[in-house]
Chain A
Amino acid sequence: MKHAAASALLLAALLLGGTARAAPMGFKDSWMAMGDFGPNWREAWVNHAFTARDAVGGGGLYMRSDDKQTTREIAELTYTRLVARWNLPHAQANVWFVGGLGGIRGNDFDGTRTLWAPGVQLDYETTRVYVAAFARLYRADGINHDYGALRAGFSFYEAEYEETQPWFIVEARRMRGLSEQVEITPMLRLINKGYFVEAGFNTDKQVRFNFMHIF
Chain B
Amino acid sequence: MRTALILAAGLLASAGAQAATTKLTVNGMVCAFCAQGIEKRLGAMPETQAVYVNLGDKIVAVEAKPGQSHDVEKVRAEVKDAGYDVIKVEMVEQSVETLRAAAKAKK
Q: Which residues of A contact B (CB under 8 A)?
A: 22-23, 26-30, 52, 82, 85-92, 125-127, 158-161, 165, 191-196, 212, 214
Q: How far is the CB of A156 from chain B (nearest CB, A)?
A: 14
Known: A90-B58, A127-B56. 7 other contacts (CB 8 A): A28-B82, A82-B83, A86-B28, A158-B55, A160-B56, A191-B32, A192-B32
A126 to B37, CA, bound (A): 17
Pick the contact of B53: A27, A82, A161, A165 (CB < 8 A). A161
**How many A-B Cβ pairs are below 8 Å?**
87
Chain B minimum-CB-distance residue to A125: B30
Whether B37 contacts A30 by the Cβ 8 Å rule is: yes
Chain B residues with a Cβ closer than 8 Å to the other chain, count: 27
Does B27 make an interface contact (CB < 8 A)?
yes
A158 to B31, CA, bound (A): 10
A17 to B33, CA, bound (A): 19
Pick the contact of A161: B32, B37, B82, B83 (CB < 8 A). B32
Q: How far is the CB of A97 from chain B (nearest CB, A)?
A: 16
Within 8 A of A (CB), among B38-89: 38-41, 53-56, 58, 80-85
Whether A214 contacts B37 by the Cβ 8 Å rule is: yes
* Residues on B with beta carbons closer than 8 Å to the beta carbon of A26: 37
Which secondary structure characterizes the binding site on chain A?
A: loop
Q: How far is the CB of B86 from chain A (nearest CB, A)?
A: 10
Whether A87 contacts B28 by the Cβ 8 Å rule is: yes
Q: How far is the CB of B43 from chain A (nearest CB, A)?
A: 12
A27-B41, A52-B82 known; A193 and B32 CB under 8 Å?
yes
Q: How far is the CB of A144 from chain B (nearest CB, A)?
A: 34
Does B98 make an interface contact (CB < 8 A)?
no
A165 to B29, CA, bound (A): 15
A28 to B41, CA, bound (A): 9
Does B9 make an interface contact (CB < 8 A)?
no
Q: How far is the CB of A155 from chain B (nearest CB, A)?
A: 10
Chain A minimum-CB-distance residue to B87: A89
Whether B82 contacts A126 by the Cβ 8 Å rule is: no
A87-B27, A89-B27, A161-B53 known; A27 and B37 CB under 8 Å?
yes
Q: How far is the CB of A42 from chain B (nearest CB, A)?
A: 22
Whether A27 contacts B28 by the Cβ 8 Å rule is: no
A29 to B27, CA, bound (A): 21
28 contacts between A and B (CB under 8 A): A26-B37, A27-B37, A27-B38, A27-B82, A27-B83, A30-B40, A52-B81, A52-B82, A87-B27, A89-B58, A90-B58, A91-B28, A91-B30, A92-B31, A127-B55, A158-B55, A160-B54, A160-B56, A161-B55, A165-B32, A191-B31, A191-B32, A193-B36, A193-B39, A194-B33, A196-B33, A212-B33, A214-B36
A160 to B26, CA, bound (A): 16
A27-B83, A30-B40, A87-B85 known; A127 and B31 CB under 8 Å?
yes
